[in-house]
Structure 1
Protein backbone atom coordinates (compact mmCIF):
# COMPACT_ATOMS: atom_id res chain seq x y z
CA UNK A 1 0.00 0.00 0.00
CA UNK A 2 2.80 2.40 0.94
CA UNK A 3 4.67 1.95 -2.32
CA UNK A 4 1.64 2.52 -4.56
CA UNK A 5 0.81 5.74 -2.69
CA UNK A 6 4.34 7.02 -3.24
CA UNK A 7 4.19 6.07 -6.93
CA UNK A 8 0.88 7.91 -7.29
CA UNK A 9 2.29 11.04 -5.66
CA UNK A 10 5.39 10.85 -7.88
CA UNK A 11 3.24 10.60 -11.01
CA UNK A 12 1.15 13.56 -9.84
CA UNK A 13 4.26 15.68 -9.33
CA UNK A 14 5.54 14.79 -12.79
CA UNK A 15 2.30 15.70 -14.52
CA UNK A 16 2.10 19.06 -12.74
CA UNK A 17 5.71 19.75 -13.72
CA UNK A 18 4.87 18.88 -17.32
CA UNK A 19 1.91 21.27 -17.21
CA UNK A 20 4.15 24.01 -15.80
CA UNK A 21 6.69 23.36 -18.54
CA UNK A 22 3.97 23.66 -21.18
CA UNK A 23 2.85 26.96 -19.66
CA UNK A 24 6.44 28.19 -19.73
CA UNK A 25 6.83 27.17 -23.36
CA UNK A 26 3.73 29.16 -24.30
CA UNK A 27 4.27 32.24 -22.14
CA UNK A 28 8.03 32.75 -22.08
CA UNK A 29 8.50 33.52 -25.80
CA UNK A 30 5.91 36.29 -25.63
CA UNK A 31 7.67 38.06 -22.77
CA UNK A 32 11.01 37.46 -24.48
CA UNK A 33 9.67 39.11 -27.63
CA UNK A 34 8.55 42.10 -25.58
CA UNK A 35 11.98 42.29 -24.00
CA UNK A 36 13.66 41.99 -27.40
CA UNK A 37 11.63 44.84 -28.88
CA UNK A 38 12.24 46.91 -25.72
CA UNK A 39 16.01 46.39 -26.04
CA UNK A 40 15.76 47.22 -29.75
CA UNK A 41 13.93 50.48 -28.93
CA UNK A 42 16.53 51.36 -26.28
CA UNK A 43 19.33 50.73 -28.78
CA UNK A 44 17.67 52.88 -31.46
CA UNK A 45 17.04 55.69 -28.98
CA UNK A 46 20.68 55.51 -27.91
CA UNK A 47 21.84 55.67 -31.54
CA UNK A 48 19.59 58.67 -32.23
CA UNK A 49 20.91 60.49 -29.18
CA UNK A 50 24.44 59.69 -30.30
CA UNK A 51 23.74 61.07 -33.79
CA UNK A 52 22.23 64.25 -32.36
CA UNK A 53 25.19 64.70 -30.02
CA UNK A 54 27.60 64.19 -32.91
CA UNK A 55 25.79 66.71 -35.11
CA UNK A 56 25.75 69.20 -32.22
CA UNK A 57 29.51 68.72 -31.91
CA UNK A 58 29.88 69.32 -35.65
CA UNK A 59 27.90 72.56 -35.31
CA UNK A 60 30.07 73.61 -32.38
CA UNK A 61 33.19 72.97 -34.49
CA UNK A 62 31.85 75.28 -37.22
Structure 2
Protein backbone atom coordinates (compact mmCIF):
# COMPACT_ATOMS: atom_id res chain seq x y z
CA UNK A 1 0.00 0.00 0.00
CA UNK A 2 1.42 3.39 -0.88
CA UNK A 3 1.80 6.25 1.59
CA UNK A 4 -1.24 8.53 1.34
CA UNK A 5 0.24 11.99 1.88
CA UNK A 6 -3.24 13.49 2.25
CA UNK A 7 -3.64 11.67 5.58
CA UNK A 8 -1.36 13.54 7.95
CA UNK A 9 -3.00 12.91 11.31
CA UNK A 10 -2.58 10.10 13.78
CA UNK A 11 0.53 8.04 13.31
CA UNK A 12 2.12 10.57 10.96
CA UNK A 13 2.51 12.83 13.97
CA UNK A 14 4.10 10.29 16.30
CA UNK A 15 6.27 8.12 14.07
CA UNK A 16 9.26 8.98 11.91
CA UNK A 17 9.65 7.16 8.60
CA UNK A 18 13.30 7.54 7.56
CA UNK A 19 12.45 6.06 4.14
CA UNK A 20 10.47 9.18 3.18
CA UNK A 21 12.71 12.16 2.36
CA UNK A 22 10.03 14.73 3.25
CA UNK A 23 9.66 13.20 6.71
CA UNK A 24 13.42 13.16 7.30
CA UNK A 25 13.58 16.81 6.23
CA UNK A 26 10.68 17.76 8.50
CA UNK A 27 11.91 15.96 11.61
CA UNK A 28 15.57 16.92 11.22
CA UNK A 29 14.53 20.58 10.92
CA UNK A 30 12.16 20.27 13.88
CA UNK A 31 14.87 18.77 16.09
CA UNK A 32 17.66 21.00 14.71
CA UNK A 33 19.89 18.12 13.63
CA UNK A 34 21.27 16.74 10.37
CA UNK A 35 19.58 14.04 8.34
CA UNK A 36 22.33 11.61 9.34
CA UNK A 37 21.90 12.40 13.03
CA UNK A 38 18.14 11.84 12.74
CA UNK A 39 18.59 8.48 11.04
CA UNK A 40 21.10 7.43 13.71
CA UNK A 41 18.70 8.54 16.46
CA UNK A 42 15.82 6.56 14.92
CA UNK A 43 18.04 3.50 14.57
CA UNK A 44 19.05 3.74 18.24
CA UNK A 45 15.81 4.96 19.87
CA UNK A 46 13.09 3.62 17.57
CA UNK A 47 10.71 5.47 15.25
CA UNK A 48 8.48 7.18 17.84
CA UNK A 49 9.11 10.93 17.71
CA UNK A 50 9.01 11.36 21.49
CA UNK A 51 11.64 8.62 21.97
CA UNK A 52 13.86 10.17 19.31
CA UNK A 53 13.52 13.61 20.90
CA UNK A 54 14.41 12.20 24.31
CA UNK A 55 17.44 10.44 22.80
CA UNK A 56 18.62 13.65 21.11
CA UNK A 57 18.31 15.65 24.32
CA UNK A 58 20.46 13.09 26.18
CA UNK A 59 23.33 13.53 23.75
Q: Give the structure-1-normalised TM-score.
A: 0.23
Flag the structure with higher helix content: 1
- Structure of higher RCO (CA pairs closer than 8 Å, 6+ residues apart): 2
**Which protein is bigger by CA-based radius of gyration?**
1
